[in-house]
Amino acid sequence: MPRTLLDWLEVKLTTNLTQPLLNLRVPPPRRPGVGPVVAWAEGPDGEVEAACSRGRIEIRAVTSRIWRVIVAGPGTPPYRSESVVCLETHPLRAQAAGGGTLRIAGEEPGLGALVEERTGRLEFHFAGRILHRDSAPPSSRRGWVASRKRSPEPELYLGFGEKTGGLFHNGRRRIMWNTDNADMGRRSDPIYQSCPLQIAVRSDGSAHALFFDNPHYAVFRVGGEGPNPETRYAAAGGPLVYYVLAGPTLPEVLEQLTLLTGRSPLPPRWMLGHHHSRWDPEESQEKVLATAREFRRRGLPCDAIHLDIGHMEGYRCFTWSRERFPDPAAMVRELHAQGFRVIVIADPGIKRDPDYALYREGAARGLLCTDRRGRVHHSPVWPGPAAFPDFTLPEARSWWGRQFRGYAELGIDGFWIDMNEPSVFTARRTVAPGVRHRGEAGQSGRPGTIGHRSVHNLYGLLMARATREGLDALVPEGRPYLFTRSGYAGIQRYAGSWTGDNRSSWEHLRMSIPMLLNLGLSGQPLVGPDIGGFLGRPTPELMARWLELGALYPFCRNHTSRWSLPQEIWSFGPDVERIGRRYLELRSSLLPYLYTLAREASRRGAPILRPLLYEFPSDPACQSAEIAETQLMLGPHLLAAPVLAPGIATRRIYLPAGEYWQDWWTGECLPGGGHFEVEAPLDRLPLYVRAGAALPLTDPSPNSDEAAGRPIRWRVYPAAAISGSLYVDDGVSMGYQRGECSLLGLQGERRAAEIRVRIEREAGGLSPVLVRHPGLAVERVELSGGTPRRVEVDPERLPWEGSWAG
């Protein structure tokens, strides 16, 4: 918390008054459309272009279910994207359909469109169903672009990246402007990231989406809950560019989105362990080592220790405090010897200091952002007046990426980039709009003429790109992990994310669920908030409940601020330590399952944490806000219903339709398709396994490296149909890209009193598939609720070593 009442008032006023007012941009009330279509033609690359009286409309098929629309007025800069990485072309054809309408279709079944020639309004349909139609002509004029889309039937709206509030965005205003919000609450908007993606889900569970690829300041007025909801979108620059994603299911929407914007690289296995961090301006080598030793002494699973800005010399990036970190190499060696990975932070603000080599070189080579007169721009941040790399320049990105060499040579395992909205200590909380960039970025105009307003939402993504490309060059055979605070659509190609400066409150615990679910639905699978809250002091009860839920976050990190009391698990007393151990050991035992989900995310874009309607689209109860925002799926098999308020020992849950759901802790089976009041004492997270699951598990370990050396067991929950997957590789290298991995599939069925399962290799090149190799041996298959009388193994299908047991 702020140190004094004056500090508290300053945060409140700056965050909620001056910062929004200074950054506010208001779309003009009327923007004429592009006008009537005067001519149309089929282009050489298969696109259809309609020339209008005040602009043009271009429609291109990326696939039969992904179409791009560009609406450009006179003088509109050309479209260039930092987000879209896939632009295949599938030919379209156009023909007059009568009644002043132009019909556009592909050569294979998929999306189709109608263009009203009199106005340029568009309508999109798929499989005989209208997705949406323009309720006003699209416009691109006087610096603003706008679109108004109306649905013919009620829809629920999800996506939009990192947003507070609930899972559904109906009736809300959503602003795209990356903002360091120091007073984040349930109604705060905007915050750290921007993702102009609107996913629509209808009552039958079908889904489709609109992705507006425009990094400028933008405002959505999202459709309400009426029979024909209308969404209005306006952006302060660039052409109007959007992609129509036909779905028609949520998993297919995610595949389509991440085909466009890229998928998360497979993380190192240790990233999925438990991480510990604290922002301490007096951070020291001895404090870090003492914390690590205490984790091991107490037997609490922990994989990574993070070093915040306190490790630097005067907040100079890529330096170590000579007094407090006299021998970082020795510290890293000891942490590695204890089984910890080490993550360090890097901020973009480079201290203005002529004796600081990084600043001196960046200024001399013209790699820093400038003012309108071409002088290096400075704004106050942690080190005082600071300059900022111009990440729109390829040479600046290469230069930045090379700065990580010293860390790589020390064996640092991961990196954390922060303050990259960029955030500065002024009333605006970011650099002034007149700051100049000299490269090319997004829809920003000619090189050398780019104002910061056109680059702002891309800055964090470009910093992540520079860092990732540098690490890939420095550690080509490794998998160093990178995560970021700020980003734009496509950030998952380079980095995972955490949700910024949250608070130690029940409200923030509750709102973490819809935030992470929407981030996952926006293409980012590796996400998490600070467990326990960054600002404030959680009560022991809140900390216990947060640890229970946090054990299921894709990114599981306990992090707190300089103004808070210590937040190590043991600092809350023996009861919280016992509960924390139980749930960190649960996470450790789930590592084979989590790693398999991470591989699925890297291949198909599927989120790791999922709303219930992702897995149960035809179940209307899963579209209820109360259920959708307080329960979640970890992959396809595990359902959690965390306690999100104090003083509660039972909670009402909903279990979607299915044969049964089995309580993880007691083994009790409950039928699917009903509401239940279940026990939830302080040490119990209601957690259920779906009938038909085959879960790969291992014994709990102090860290993921030790877990990798332990055999895996496959626990089967019998049902009419049984399925599960297990992905295995060495967890740290790029060997998996050369086939040094295996994806195993377990399929089975129950027939009367007989249960049959078969395991087959579905992908990868390890041969034999199962060998006595650390992390690659399946020791046994367990049958939940019983012991098989006979097990048959087909050696032709699966080379096998090990034993089978119930």
- Tally the C-alpha atoms within 13 A of residue 155's C-alpha that lie toward its C-beta: 25
**Is the Cβ–Cβ distance between 170 and 157 less than 8 Å?**
yes
Q: Which of 501, 600, 615, 619 is catalytic?
A: 501
| Secondary structure (H, E, C), 322-352 | CCCCCCHHHHHHHHHHCCCEEEEEECCCEEC
**Is the Cβ–Cβ distance between 222 and 173 less than 8 Å?**
yes
- Contact partners, residue 692, CB within 8 Å, separation at least 6: 658, 659, 717, 718, 719, 720, 721, 722, 723
Burial 742-770 (b: 16+ CB within 10 A, else e): bbbebbbbbeeeebebebebeebebeebb
Among candidate residues 661, 663, 668, the one with its CA nearest the CA of residue 685: 663
Q: Which of 418, 530, 730, 782 is catalytic?
A: 418
Whether 421 sits among the annotated catalytic residues: the reply is yes
Helices (H), 680-801: 704-708
**Is the Cβ–Cβ distance between 498 and 485 less than 8 Å?**
yes
Measured distance CA(618)–CA(630) in Å, rounded: 19
Two structure tokens written together for 676: 């239940």
Exposed, middle or buried by CB within 10 Å (0-12, 13-18, 19+), for 794?
Answer: exposed
Measured distance CA(368)–CA(641) in Å, rounded: 48
Measured distance CA(297)–CA(290) in Å, rounded: 10
Q: Which of 421, 548, 619, 782 is catalytic?
A: 421
Give strand pairing partners of 42: 48
Among candidate residues 741, 728, 735, 639, the one with its CA nearest the CA of residue 690: 639
DSSP per-residue codes, 189-249? -S-SEE--EEEEE-TTS-EEEEEE---S-EEEE---SSSS-EEEEEESSS-EEEEEE--SS
DSSP per-residue codes, 261-321? H--PPPPPGGGGSEEE----TT--HHHHHHHHHHHHHHT----EEEE-GGGSBTTBTT---
Backbone angles phi, psi at 159, to 5 degrees: 95, -140
Helix, strand, or coil (residue 731): coil
Two structure tokens written together for 139: 């416009």
Among candidate residues 168, 170, 247, the one with its CA nearest the CA of residue 207: 247
Give strand pairing partners of 724: 746
Number of residues that make up the chain: 806
**Is the Cβ–Cβ distance between 269 and 774 less than 8 Å?**
no
Burial 376-406 (b: 16+ CB within 10 A, else e): bbbbebbbeebbbbbbbbeebbebbbebbee
DSSP β-ladder status, 481-484 and 173-176: unpaired
Helix, strand, or coil (residue 721): strand
Consecutive H or E run containing 420: none
Measured distance CA(481)–CA(292) in Å, rounded: 20
**Is the Cβ–Cβ distance between 302 and 274 less than 8 Å?**
yes
Give one word for 356, left, alpha or beta, with left for phi > 0 and alpha for psi -120 to 50: beta
Whether 501 sits among the annotated catalytic residues: the reply is yes
- Tally the C-alpha atoms within 13 A of residue 248's C-alpha that lie toward its C-beta: 15
Measured distance CA(348)–CA(430) in Å, rounded: 12
Positions marked active-site: 418, 421, 501
